[in-house]
Amino acid sequence: MKRLSLGFWLPLSIITLLFWACNEKNTSKKENDTSAKQQAAANPADSTLQHFWDTFNMQDTAQVKNPDKGEQHLADFIALLSKTPDSATRDRAVNLMLDKAKANRTSFDHFIKLYEHYLYDGNSPMRDDVVYESVLRYMIKTDLLSDLEKEAYRPVYKLVRRNRVGQPAEDFSFELSNGTSQKLSQVKAKYTLLLFYDPDCAHCKETIHQLRDTPQLAELFTQLQVQIVAIDPWGDRSKWKDYMPEIAKDWINGFDAKSTILQQSLYDLKASPTIFLLDENKQVILKDTYLQSVIQHFVQPN
């Protein structure tokens, strides 16, 4: 740092003042440096995400398409993203990654397919609409795609943003077995387990039997005031009626006669069964989840 010679003729009071000001400046600088270090240390995940792809060579197509390298690196990246609650941080990390990938269109297309496979495929245990939102936001605004290509992502983006955790679940009407009509919002319960099922789906039947025939689970749900609402949204009344014996008598068994749920894309039913857990105000607690996750929500301390 350049130093200024003060000379011996300056009054002591001025020297003292200058020395105090310099000290104050150094102290302030030290405090700022300490604050910056503390902030960086307080959010190590942010720093890790921003630099996650620094050493990965997107031009090396063999590395990109190697499941043990490219795919595994992406899976690790997604796992870290899913633990990051701040959407802006997730967006920055995804933007940096895809900006780097778009220098090689082959790499870019490969990773976009992997994102969809891991985050949006109904059979993926890592599916996560919240993380996939960051990817979709990038796809809608990137200059790499044509307007026509971007349009393919807009309906999906709109769909994944529906029924988000903490927001009210989309309301809809359904027919009951006695021929009357009811709305989801009219269900009175502390918790509502909303279960969309397909009568032809073997996994649906397995899940329904597990819910219906496990005494400990039935007792837990009774104690917690969990009302199960089972909805057939596929519009085949004969199949719905034939399937009625599979549904427990204390459940609400509904049928979407007009296929409103599917036609208006009120819920993203890319897999069967599709499960939501709602609170007493019909706000979403768990979205597109598994039965095991519902049980864990209740039995594990938060």
pLDDT digits (tens, 9 = 90+) for 42-59: 456 688 999 999 999 999
pLDDT (average), residues 25-44: 46
pLDDT digits (tens, 9 = 90+) for 201-243: 999 999 999 999 999 999 999 999 999 999 999 999 999 999 9
Structural domain spans, the chain: 61-160, 173-299
Q: Name the token pair of 160.
A: 């994944």
pTM over cut 0.75: yes
> CATH for 173-299?
3.40.30.10
pLDDT grade for 197, boundaries at 50, 70 and 90: very high
